[in-house]
Structure 1
């Protein structure tokens, strides 16, 4: 990989350490610890010292599983030499995406200054946290004995491949104009490298191992090209999903695309406010529907995922009730204007709140089939007395189905197909 060879050359020239950070987990959602092992092998073989800043998971994997993952990781790096874990930090601190800079600053201070709680080993730090009933996600940024902080001439390597939860900590580390919190010290890195492109702003400061593919003919692009108006709306926790991710990993805004961001509640964890900002999002949605200004509205209700990640069943019930109430309000608003609604998800979570094997709270995503529900199907039919329903399919079929409802032609780049069918009695949903 040319970009990796380049940072090796720069680190050899400065004699600096490569600080590799990332989610040390086999979850595969933001990263994979096997990638971190592979990168460490390449760097170590080139004579580069590697300090690992391990972000602990507990969301995409069981909440108290980091100890086993760290044990496996340490076994994998033991033969390498020059590679050691320098800090451990729960992702709550190191991978925030809601501008909770008080959290991010703790991870920053531990990594940059080597300042904060200390542990003799990574495993000892995790074990001590478990003794205090602190699960992986919430482990305080902890410095492992022997690490004294970053220094000028060192290199930075981010092993996460997903963008949204890598941006804040990277911005604090590499952006000279960052002002989210006061940095007592800034590191003059000789090189900065990421697994992928995290944002247009960060690309100005970092090299990339695997540049993003440019996706063409996304749903939003097709809608825009046809001169139609669209709205993207979500609270902070899911805003990137209806904008950056929904636009194929692009930060550009299409012609005719409007956006509404509703702040997520300022709480430590969302089981403390499982309603989140769904009522406020719904208020704005009802107004947008009533305005008849938009041909397509895309919304993401954060509750089922974010509250599902807490593993707290009582809060999950409130979260589901809240979203159910919001969907009822949207259905009523759509009926007034002759609109149609599709309800779906791209993964499961809140439907499993307890691990059937371990009995622990279940905090991770699931691969269960998700619903695909058509509301007001009779409105979409051109013939009186007919009603559309949906056949079963996959996520690739969602965009073609929407285009069919909007009367737009499906581009060749979309390989799925419309799931619209004429309904039988009582039929209005499918699985995807």
Structure 2
């Protein structure tokens, strides 16, 4: 096979699901994608569970998907590492955790545990939270406070009340209490919307001094009655005897138990006065610990340091002296760069990146086309330059709009991607690029669960296509894509890449 230039298009959230009335993929008008999958060989890839390094039955997500695609192997995910540590009894021996608890006691300060309360297992795990609370409460530490971020995105929109109720029951036998509630829309922004972060920051560090008593469950119930679901619950402190249960004070200890980095960075920056604009102006001098490494230049200790991977796709392309381009809009830029490069910020030699700003709207159902047309303009321009040997592109629409649970908007998202793919196909053909099309996980193909909007990812397989009619493709997993690309490009596949080539 002659050496090929390759364009990999990742249609984020575009899964293969059973056709039904709320499958935004099958029920959309998408002539270009339909023709593409009719004309060229395709197969399907597993993107959940063991095949992407997650616990059995766990749905995939964008971070996991891009890690596996870029690594060319099954990447043992942080959640699985942490689960195993708990099962083996190693978690409670973690030196960083032990030091944090001991130092908090010595200084007579409070320990604040914060993170997403969710069984979605995308950003965090309830299992991890309960283990941390159990360990922290097993000694003399009495001032332990939990700041709950509610989900409703990777879980049903009104599941938060059940999670909080379960947590409250668990906490009865511990020294910990819930101190605040905040929807992830505020506390876990990742798009530099600092106004959202500020609302969470203010409740964490400076809630109103007095207010009527309100419990964590009361806060959530009142939000539901107002039509506000978990993701969008306004940051609110829990009050007892008309005063806040707790706030983060100067010199306190904080443990952020989210294991996924991208949505943990901004609030961490604010709480530690790092690159957060007008947010985070207090000099809190916190003893701040994170579950995993959120950013290479963050000065925080972590319970589970990063695992380094050798010979991932970007590195192999770079070592071969070839040029590569990563392009996406803001919402998925970290995925085609940081996560695709094995969780490393640094670019490889010969790697270029183009970031297209995502639109500044409250939710993407209001603008389901997002910035896909601008992404396409840039991608076509770059292909026409004939500079890059490998281009990695992400269309965010099907995932980000799928998360809103708005079916008609999700259809519009799919149709937008379809229109863009029409231009991508033409540009690839005239510039000698072989086109690969896939997704990192499903979402838009399942928009309603009964009568309830479904806002989470799915466990469905995703498509995989190569625009070469001579090839016969086989079923596989996301970790098989990188070795397949190297084979198409005429490059040796390194031993570290244990994925299989997807064509015969």
TM-superposed CA distance for 1:148, in Å, is: 4.4
| Corresponding position: 1:330 with 2:424 | yes
Question: Are the equivalent residues in 1 in contact too, given 2:270–2:279 (CA < 8 A)?
Answer: no
| Corresponding position: 1:197 with 2:300 | no
The DSSP-based 3-state class of the residue aligned with 1:156 is strand
Output the CA distance in 1 between the equivalents of 2:121 and 2:304.
Answer: 16
Question: Are the equivalent residues in 1 in contact too, given 2:438–2:462 (CA < 8 A)?
Answer: yes
Instruction: Pick the aligned partner of 1:346 from 426, 440, 449.
Output: 440
Q: Paired residues, what number?
A: 405
Question: Are the equivalent residues in 2 in contact too, given 1:307–1:316 (CA < 8 A)?
Answer: yes
Question: Are the equivalent residues in 2 in contact too, given 1:118–1:125 (CA < 8 A)?
Answer: no
| RMSD after superposition | 1.3
The DSSP-based 3-state class of the residue aligned with 2:441 is coil
The DSSP-based 3-state class of the residue aligned with 2:179 is strand
| Corresponding position: 1:134 with 2:217 | no
Unpaired runs of 5+ in structure 1? 379-386, 422-432
- In the alignment, what sits opposite 1:3? 96
- In the alignment, what sits opposite 1:361? 453
TM-superposed CA distance for 1:184, in Å, is: 5.5
Unpaired runs of 5+ in structure 2? 1-93
Matches within 5 A, 1:169-184: 169-175=267-273, 177-183=274-280
TM-superposed CA distance for 1:270, in Å, is: 0.3
Output the CA distance in 1 between the equivalents of 2:97 and 2:246.
Answer: 25
Q: Tell me which of the two structures has the higher relative contact order, counting C-alpha pairs closer than 8 angstroms and 6 or more residues apart.
A: 2
Output the CA distance in 2 between the equivalents of 1:118 and 1:136.
Answer: 22
Matches within 5 A, 1:112-151: 112-115=205-208, 120-145=214-239, 146-151=244-249
Per-residue CA deviation, residues 16-53 of structure 1 (Å, 9 max, x unaligned), is 11111100111100001121111011111122221101
Question: Are the equivalent residues in 2 in contact too, given 1:156–1:193 (CA < 8 A)?
Answer: yes
Output the CA distance in 2 between the equivalents of 1:271 and 1:178.
Answer: 30
TM-superposed CA distance for 1:395, in Å, is: 1.1
The DSSP-based 3-state class of the residue aligned with 1:310 is coil
- In the alignment, what sits opposite 2:50? none
The DSSP-based 3-state class of the residue aligned with 1:388 is coil
Output the CA distance in 2 between the equivalents of 1:100 and 1:275.
Answer: 20
The DSSP-based 3-state class of the residue aligned with 2:148 is strand
TM-superposed CA distance for 1:420, in Å, is: 1.6
Normalised to the residue count of structure 1, the TM-score between the two structures is 0.92
- In the alignment, what sits opposite 1:314? 408
- In the alignment, what sits opposite 2:479? 396
The DSSP-based 3-state class of the residue aligned with 1:84 is strand
Question: Are the equivalent residues in 2 in contact too, given 1:119–1:143 (CA < 8 A)?
Answer: no
- In the alignment, what sits opposite 2:195? 102
- In the alignment, what sits opposite 2:252? 154
Question: Are the equivalent residues in 1 in contact too, given 2:197–2:279 (CA < 8 A)?
Answer: no
Matches within 5 A, 1:149-298: 149-175=247-273, 177-183=274-280, 185-189=282-286, 191-202=287-298, 204=299, 206-298=300-392
Question: Are the equivalent residues in 2 in contact too, given 1:166–1:198 (CA < 8 A)?
Answer: yes
Output the CA distance in 1 between the equivalents of 2:269 and 2:312.
Answer: 28
Output the CA distance in 2 between the equivalents of 1:350 and 1:50.
Answer: 40
The DSSP-based 3-state class of the residue aligned with 2:325 is strand
The DSSP-based 3-state class of the residue aligned with 1:244 is helix
- In the alignment, what sits opposite 1:381? none
Question: Are the equivalent residues in 2 in contact too, given 1:401–1:418 (CA < 8 A)?
Answer: yes
Output the CA distance in 1 between the equivalents of 2:109 and 2:182.
Answer: 23
Output the CA distance in 2 between the equivalents of 1:261 and 1:119.
Answer: 46
Output the CA distance in 2 between the equivalents of 1:418 and 1:300.
Answer: 22
Normalised to the residue count of structure 2, the TM-score between the two structures is 0.79
Question: Are the equivalent residues in 2 in contact too, given 1:374–1:389 (CA < 8 A)?
Answer: no
The DSSP-based 3-state class of the residue aligned with 1:199 is coil
Output the CA distance in 2 between the equivalents of 1:253 and 1:78.
Answer: 48
Question: Are the equivalent residues in 2 in contact too, given 1:19–1:50 (CA < 8 A)?
Answer: yes
Per-residue CA deviation, residues 265-285 of structure 1 (Å, 9 max, x unaligned), is 000000000000000000000
- Distance of aligned partners of 1:83 and 1:148 in 2 relative to their CA distance in 1, 3 Å threshold: closer
